[in-house]
Amino acid sequence: FHGDGSRIERNDHHIRAVGKGDPQVFAGRAGEPGFRTGDPVVVRDMPALLYTRTPEYVRGATGEIASVAYESPAAEDETWDRPDAQPEWFYVVRFRLSDLWCGYAGPATDTLQTELPERWLEPAA
């Protein structure tokens, strides 16, 4: 066992992903994406105790889906290595900077894109 990583349990993910890559190893496991490119969405303001990758600055903001990115378990589950984590769709979401920041001084065409898993999004009214 000395110096041999073959029996380390947490290497399983790596072994599954060889030849595919990550997030490609999760392809086909999230079902139909709930949003399409161009859809207006609002970022939900969910509790984020201990860990999240959804930046505070987009909570509650309205943006639009710039692209449907890939399938993957959410970082909020992966970070704790949850074995039953269900992959979900990720989206690149585009926001106008003037919608994110009160008093944004640049032109209205300035934007910011960030990537969010489906659980954090709901359709904009």
Partner 1 sequence: MTEHDHDHERTIAPMVDEVTDFEVLEIALRELCIEKGIFTAEEHRRFTEFAEQIGPAPAAHLVARAWLDPDFKALALAEPMTASKEVGVDWLEPTGFGTPSDFTAFEILEDTPELHHVIVCALCSCYPRPILGNSPEWYRTPNYRRRLVRWPRQVLAEFGLNLSDDIAIRVQDSNQKHRFMVMPVRPEGTDGWDEDQLAAIVTRDCLIGVALPKPGVTSNVITDTRPAVHPVDGRNT
Beta pairing partners, 63 = 41
Interface with partner 1 by CB under 8 A: which range of 3-11, 27-35, 38-46, 79-87?
3-11
Instruction: Give me the phi and psi of 82, to 5 degrees please.
Output: -65, 120
Pick one of 9, 21, 28, 83: the residue that binds partner 1 (CB under 8 A).
21
The residue (of 42 and 69) whose beta carbon lies closer to partner 1 is 69
In sequence order, the 6+-apart residues with CB closer than 8 A to the CB of 19 are none
Q: Is 68 in the site for partner 1 (CB under 8 A)?
A: no
In sequence order, the 6+-apart residues with CB closer than 8 A to the CB of 82 are 73
Beta pairing partners, 11 = none
DSSP state of 97: H
Q: Is 75 in the site for partner 1 (CB under 8 A)?
A: yes
Q: Is 28 in the site for partner 1 (CB under 8 A)?
A: no
Contact footprint for partner 1 (CB under 8 A): 1-5, 7-8, 14, 17-25, 53-55, 57, 69-70, 72, 75, 90, 92, 94, 97, 100-101, 105-107, 109-117
